[in-house]
A and B are shown apart, each in its own frame.
Chain A
């Protein structure tokens, strides 16, 4: 009862020694509000994790699973398809992440320089919109725009201006597929990526810019000595958080993939899809689970490595 009369700081300090049950009772409102989130996380995030045990079993969904130890991992290491998909996942994801982050930073800086609030808002809304388009729609639109036939806007323009004689099959050519993939990703996600950077930029104390102006700093110097240092923490945080997702590449690749570009586009999750649905037999969920587990472990390792690097370079990490 006495705690009710204490201030929040005292309560917080007192809680360090408070028994759990007393604490639960005191903060029951907060815990009740947290309960749905906890249940959701347990049911949909933690319970499914028990499924990773199938990576060590052969299981086709009908008979009881049979324990095979590390057999699936041994097979995985021998399959060229797996290594191709692994390499592609890393390459496509990392380049996409760096490009998207870079473009988002550049766009944020440009938006930050806009003086007309209305124009800024309209521009922001327009650049956010592509993020809300599904990948299926995005792929359909770009398949049409990049079509090698007369219907393809880009090829029609290039032919008209004499840049090429015949339309280029951008999405069906091994050399062109990856650049197109990056461009489409930048188009779709750059706008959305600016939100967090614009929020950071708007939080920079304007007095810093005023002081810099008085010291004779031009725009570039203000950018170099005030804006970029202020943004750097956010950039590192965004990069590390997104690194956790680099192994999860699927939808964007799946909807744009075709037989001609498999070597350059097959990623781990499309590889799992192929193993599951195109094997001409009942899939062995054990093998596909093993591939999925490997992808998760690599993603986890990447985050930890980057966090460690961040700790060394900047003196602190985010995880």
Chain B
């Protein structure tokens, strides 16, 4: 970890030095760019369509979700430049050190900021609050992309607005987790897929006390496992949605437009009770607290439990394949959300944000972000990569799969030989635009398609939580306290009353109120 941080720091210094020496992104920036950007951020003004100038060069800083060097980023870059006629500079730190390097770059001054960056979660809201991002609301509203009528995920875009303003553009959905059940286990226990919490609990009981794996021993399996009891603020890491139902441990905006802390609501107490009772009954993996997601996956493949809430889409195929590789039955039933949940929750999608030091933000929006979803060659490039590097239509055999001439298929991964690419930056299954010409739509495995479609049809967008100074001050302590209390109730079995008395005594209630007040103040100041 330390080595990575040192590398990250070294990279940031090298990058800052190279930018200074090269005159900061050639012609795309000027010395007065920061001031210029501040004014455009403040007003949110966007030039008229005809005034938008095509940038000569765009500098982007991206994480490992964009085609990496080992995957022949150079070919990707050349192809993009050929398609757009714009010089592209890609700064791509190590994926795990991305936010460290990004922070160091921003700290080094606006003259070193790239034009575009990828952000998610609290980084997005935090950077926006600090005035580091360009307000692209008008650019989006006046865009050809919006006018095209091809956008199917406007709710995803709306959900990334902070106080009504769009500071980053989600080029795809975030996706999320749904619950998978082993079909063979259901069949052996003569159960149907559960539709209510009672049926769900009954299924867990049967999986825990019966012999769902058919090895002749009752009670050597359990119902469900998860990596921790509380997701870290991101709904995608809520691996026990059937127990939480409509309760959330973090901040949420109510229908009345006011913010509240879900932890302080009665429905959260109900969720804690459900979790505690199921844990005590042995339905939930005893090691949930210390599990990582990989531990859970391995246990699932080894048939230690039968119900697993995990990512929809490609992971449906991965789970199936790994179960079969372990000699188990790989058929999984993706569950519709049970009645008490209503809908799975989809987290806020990562966004492409234009920095406030970008000299031609309208041009960058139009020629970089919009083209990414053009339904043509550029979208194809962002989705599947470069022809004959990442995908091909030639007759060939890739890893035991034989393809005929003209049949679209992905190539063997350069970075991970022995596996085939499934996508590049954009996952077509998570697309927010209609793309009828997607050449790879037939290559998506059935189970992946089914699970993703089921999720997309049965999900709601999680609220984006703005960042406030009060939140920065207290939320770290508050989150630690909340997580500790949840673990106390579920694992140590303490009463709900004791738990909330501790919340009050250790300052949680006070911090929570302060944060809620700050969020509501910010809301009313809009």
Of B251, B472, B481, the contact of A284 (CB 8 Å cutoff): B472
Question: Would A260 and B122 be within 8 Å (CB), given that A174-B492, A283-B472 are in contact?
Answer: no
Contact assessment for A81 and B480 in the assembled complex, using a CB-CB cutoff below 8 Å: yes
Q: Given that A149-B287, A259-B228 are known contacts, is A280 also in contact with B477, CB under 8 Å in the complex?
A: no
Residue A87 at the chain B interface, CB threshold 8 Å: no
Contacts of A61 in B (CB 8 A): 103-104, 106-107
**A interface, by DSSP: helix, strand, loop or mixed?**
loop
Q: Is the CB of B479 within 8 A of A281?
A: no
Interface size grouping (class) on chain A: 35 or more
Q: How far is the CB of A117 from chain B (nearest CB, A)?
A: 38
Q: Which residue of A lies closest to B288 (CB)?
A: A172
Interface centre among B123, B220, B487 (most CB of A within 10 A): B487
Q: Bound state CA distance, A262 and B508, in angstroms?
A: 15
Tell me, yes or no, whether A275 is within 8 Å of chain B by CB: yes
A130 contacts the other chain (Cβ, under 8 Å)?
A: no
- Cβ of A193 to closest chain B Cβ, rounded Å: 22
B426 CB-CB contact with A under 8 Å = no
Chain B, interface SS category: helix
Interface residues of B in 254-292 (CB under 8 A from A): 286-287, 289-290
Given A80-B506, A282-B130, do A172 and B491 touch, yes or no (CB 8 Å)? yes
**Shortest Cβ distance from A256 into B: residue:** B290
Residue-by-residue, is A71-85 near B (CB-CB < 8 Å gives 1, otherwise 0)?
000010001110000
Q: Contacts A263-B484, A278-B480, A280-B465 given: A258-B130 contact, CB under 8 Å?
A: no
Q: Is A242 an interface residue (CB 8 A)?
A: no
Closest chain-A Cβ to B430's Cβ sits at a distance in Å of 24
Cα of A81 to Cα of B492 in the assembled complex, Å: 21
Tell me how far the C-beta of B164 lies from the nearest C-beta in chain A, rounded to whole angstroms: 19
| B471 CB within 8 Å of chain A | yes
Cβ-defined contact, A280 with B122, below 8 A: yes
Chain A min CB distance to B357 (Å)? 11
Query: B453-472: contact bitstring with A at CB < 8 Å (1 yes, 0 no)?
Result: 00000000000010111011
Distance, CA A150 to CA B411, complexed state (A): 43
Closest A residue, CB atoms, query B251 = A280
In the assembly, what is the distance between CA of A204 and CA of B506, in Å? Answer: 55
Question: With A and B bound together, what is the CA distance between A279 and B232 in angstroms?
Answer: 10
- Chain A residues with CB under 8 A of B251: 280
Query: Which B residues are in CB contact (< 8 Å) with A275?
Result: 476-477
Q: Which residue of B lies closest to A62 (CB)?
A: B130
User: Does chain A have a CB within 8 A of B211?
Assistant: no
B229 CB, nearest partner CB in chain A, Å: 7
Contact of B471 with A281 in the complex, beta carbons under 8 Å: yes
| Closest A residue to B1 using CB positions | A251
Give the docked Cα–Cα distance between A259 and B231 (Å): 12
Partner of A258, one of B132, B472, B487: B487
A174 shortest CB reach to chain B, Å = 7
Contact between A262 and B484, CB atoms less than 8 A apart: yes
Give which listed residue, A148, A171, A259, A282, contacts B486 with CB less than 8 A: A259
Contact among B131, B132, B476, B487 with A260 in the assembled complex (CB-CB below 8 Å): B487
Answer whether residue A147 sits at the interface, using C-beta atoms and an 8 A cutoff. Answer: yes
Partner of A62 from the list B132, B473, B480 (CB cut-off 8 Å) is: B132
Asked if residues A282 and B289 are in contact (CB atoms below 8 Å), the reply is no
Is B483 an interface residue when CB atoms closer than 8 A count as contact?
Answer: yes
Q: How far is the CB of B315 from chain A (nearest CB, A)?
A: 23
A265-318 contacts to B (CB < 8 Å): 266, 274-276, 278-284, 287
Distance A167 CA – B126 CA, assembled complex (angstroms): 44
Q: A169-B491, A260-B492 are in contact. Are A281 and B506 (CB under 8 A)?
A: no
Kindly state the separation between the CA atoms of A297 and B101 in the bound complex, as whole angstroms.
29
Q: Is the pair A172, B289 in contact by a Cβ cutoff of 8 Å?
A: yes
Pick the contact of A281: B122, B286, B290 (CB < 8 A).
B122
Q: Assess whether A18 is interfacial by the CB under 8 Å rule.
A: no
A171, B126: Cβ atoms closer than 8 Å:
no
Set of chain B residues within 8 Å of A81, measured between Cβ atoms: 476-477, 480-481
Find out whether the CB atom of B286 lies under 8 angstroms from the CB atom of A169. Answer: yes
Nearest CB to that of A136 among chain B residues? B1
A278 contacts across to B, CB distance below 8 A: 232-233, 475-476, 479-480
Query: B129 near A: Cβ within 8 Å?
Result: yes
Q: A248 interface residue, CB < 8 Å from B?
A: no
Q: Which of chain B's residues have a CB closer than 8 A to the CB of A80?
A: 477, 506-507
Q: Which of A60, A169, A172, A274 contacts B479 (CB 8 A)?
A: A274
* Chain B CB within 8 A of A25 CB: no
Question: Is the CB–CB distance between A149 and B106 below 8 Å?
Answer: no
Q: Report if A147-B287 is in contact (Cβ < 8 Å); known contacts: A60-B130, A62-B132, A282-B467.
A: yes
> Counting CB contacts under 8 A, is A143 at the interface?
yes
Let me know if B488 is at the binding interface, CB within 8 A. yes
Distance (whole angstroms) from the CB of A210 to the closest CB of chain B: 50
Q: Within 8 Å CB of B103, what residues of A?
A: 61
Nearest B-chain residue to A251, judged by Cβ: B1
CB pair A280 B290 closer than 8 Å: no
Flag whether B500 is at the interface (Cβ < 8 A).
no
Q: In the bound complex, how far is the Cα of B488 from the Cα of A174, in angstroms?
A: 9
Q: A17 within 8 Å of B by Cβ?
A: no
Give A307 Cβ to nearest chain B Cβ, in Å: 29
In angstroms, Cα B122 to Cα A172, docked, is: 29
**Given A61-B106, A287-B473, 6 additional A-B pairs, CB 8 A:** A60-B130, A169-B289, A274-B476, A279-B472, A281-B475, A284-B472
A-B contact pairs, 27 of them (CB 8 A): A62-B107, A62-B131, A80-B507, A81-B480, A147-B287, A169-B289, A172-B287, A172-B290, A173-B492, A259-B228, A259-B289, A259-B484, A259-B487, A260-B484, A260-B487, A266-B480, A274-B480, A275-B476, A279-B476, A280-B122, A280-B467, A281-B122, A281-B469, A282-B129, A284-B472, A284-B473, A287-B473
The 9 closest A-B pairs by CB, nearest first: A282-B126, A260-B487, A259-B487, A281-B467, A281-B472, A279-B476, A259-B483, A275-B476, A81-B477
